[in-house]
Chains A and B, each alone.
Chain A
Amino acid sequence: MELTSTVFTAKAIYVGVIFAITLGVAAYSTYFERIFAAFFQDRVGPDRAGPFGILQPLADAVKMFMKEDFIPANSSKWLFILGPCLSMFTALMTSAVIPFGDTIDLGNGVKFDLQGIDVNIGILWVFGIVSLGVYGILVGGWASNNKYSLLGAIRAASQNISYELAMGLSIISILMMTGSLSTKAIVEAQQNGHWNILYQPVGFILFIICAFAECNRTPFDLPECETELIGGYHTEYSSMKLGFYLFAEYINMFVSGAVMATLYFGGYDYPFYETVVNSFGENVANLIGFGALIGKALFFVFVFMWVRWTLPRFRYDQLMNLGWTGLIPIAMFNVVWTGLIILLPAEFNLSSWASIGVAIAGIPVLIVGLFIYHSIAGGKKKKTALAR
């Protein structure tokens, strides 16, 4: 009884901490987004609220709450309210299975996992929630009873479904490397520097492109493309309902950063772990691991912003072409090549350096293959164009 209640309290505190970190990071992402935008465009950025403008997120929140909460007359009211709720809900649910750290000793021999739940289908849970994320946009966009909102919603739906396929295939290569669906097992297989990025460079690039598309970030933010669709799916939204849509996007960025760190960058693994354990004890070492994962996730949030203020938006047909004819064939090649990465060193009793070598050799093979394919298919396309 005693042990159960300790673990239960610790779990409740842990969930509260993760919730607070997620919301805090999301709130301050809006601030840093503007700071980086200002830096990339050689401007000053927000500097009015507080020193260096660090109270800007608070000011924004107050502004959002004070605005008039408007529901269009001919909209379907409940679905209009449900849209932003679903967006927030799905954005917050994913972090339940991410292992933010190793175990912590609470005394009396109670070991506590720094992870919400360790289900044996962890990565499928993430994938399932990501695929549900589109409902918030779809429902909100339809309920607004505005053709621009509807177009934005429809774009979001088709984009998410298209990029989910490539994302699923790149996750399959990760599963082949680890042999388990549990996120904890995936991280444990990467300890001591055996990060999956070394074995799966192509898979990581595919995954990060798909993550951009799933989060509706530039260069894939067609659902809210203001030059074509006014505001996209949130045209009719005002006040905190709009705030929740925007907030959900920043939460998604942080959580997908944490997922990428978990799958490809060793999760809570960091160099000199053994030294820290020997000199400060296991609890301190594992808390540093917790910090390491948050740091890696924040780095990916930075990459999201970096790309947003560097690249222009795709055209919609380019986006669909890239998803279906670009990423999916490359992801299938990656699955086959992962088989080679696993089998060749195992067959000839080579070290893990050999697998890294095979993995890196995959990149030139892929490029040459793509080049040959394009010179054949491109020639055909030109011929049919001439025939017309």
Chain B
Amino acid sequence: MQFWYFLTALTLISALMVVLSKNPIHSVLYLVFTFFCISGHYVLLNAQFLMAVNIIVYAGAIMVLFLFVIMMLDLRRNSPDSKTNLTKLAGAVVGGTVLVIFIAATRKINLGTGADNAFYNSQTGMVENLGQILYRNYLLPFELVSILFFVAMVGAVMLGKREAGERNF
């Protein structure tokens, strides 16, 4: 339990640092660290497969591409010039609204009193059980998601494709 508090504090601090740090590269690295902390939470929930997939997909592939793109930018020239009063006001309004929505949504949640032993199964998060549920109970949504990804991928390839006679840059 103490470890959970430690990990959660670490997650929140690094997530805050993503927003607060001035250098985009530092932000990305803090975000990678945040993903690691979230993977730690998965381990505490005994969901090792989700932990591994989270690290492979987010920390290992997507964030590397983020870092890749940000490193290509000229950071000094592209310093954000968005600190007018209007944007500050808009940010405060949007942030406050989201806060109110979250409070309203979570106010009536019954957090219960610890794990329910009748339904508790330590093997729930294991890859075998996850596979059984995905391929038996939720087969159609799973396949639809894969079609969605495929369509997105084709779209990205079409956008990135050079037409004949088009200038490269």
Question: Which residues of chain A are within 8 angstroms of B55 by Cβ–Cβ distance?
Answer: 128, 131-132
Task: Please judge, given known A-B contacts A120-B126, A154-B71, whether A134 and B64 are in contact too, CB under 8 Å.
Answer: yes
Question: Which residues of chain A are within 8 angstroms of B68 by Cβ–Cβ distance?
Answer: 138, 154, 157-158
Question: Which residues of chain A are within 8 angstroms of B72 by Cβ–Cβ distance?
Answer: 154
Instruction: Render A161-172 as a binary contact track against B, CB cut-off 8 A, 1 for contact.
Output: 100100000000
Task: Please judge, given known A-B contacts A160-B64, A181-B127, whether A128 and B71 are in contact too, CB under 8 Å.
Answer: no
Task: Please judge, given known A-B contacts A128-B56, A142-B25, whether A161 and B127 are in contact too, CB under 8 Å.
Answer: no
Stretch at the interface among B7-15, B45-53, B82-90, B91-99: B45-53
- Complex contact B67–A164 (CB within 8 A): no
- Complex contact A161–B61 (CB within 8 A): yes
Task: Please judge, given known A-B contacts A150-B71, A157-B67, A161-B64, whether A121 and B29 are in contact too, CB under 8 Å.
Answer: no
B155, CB-defined interface residue at 8 Å: no
CA distance A114 to B60 in the complex (A): 29
Question: Which residues of chain A are within 8 angstroms of B25 by Cβ–Cβ distance?
Answer: 76, 79, 142
A268, CB-defined interface residue at 8 Å: no
Report how many residues on chain A are interfacial, defined by Cβ distance under 8 Å: 25
Min distance, Cβ B21 to any Cβ of chain A, angstroms: 12
- Complex contact B56–A124 (CB within 8 A): yes
B18, CB-defined interface residue at 8 Å: no
**A residues in contact (CB < 8 Å) with B:** 76, 79, 119-121, 124-125, 127-128, 131-132, 134-135, 138-139, 142, 150, 153-154, 157-158, 160-161, 164, 181
- A selection of 28 A-B contacts at a CB cut-off of 8 Å is A76-B23, A79-B25, A120-B48, A120-B126, A120-B127, A121-B48, A121-B51, A124-B49, A124-B53, A128-B59, A131-B56, A131-B60, A131-B61, A132-B60, A134-B64, A138-B67, A139-B29, A142-B25, A142-B71, A150-B71, A153-B71, A154-B68, A157-B65, A157-B67, A157-B68, A158-B68, A181-B49, A181-B127
Closest 10 pairs (CB-CB, A-B): A131-B60, A124-B52, A128-B55, A128-B56, A121-B52, A121-B48, A157-B68, A142-B71, A128-B52, A157-B64
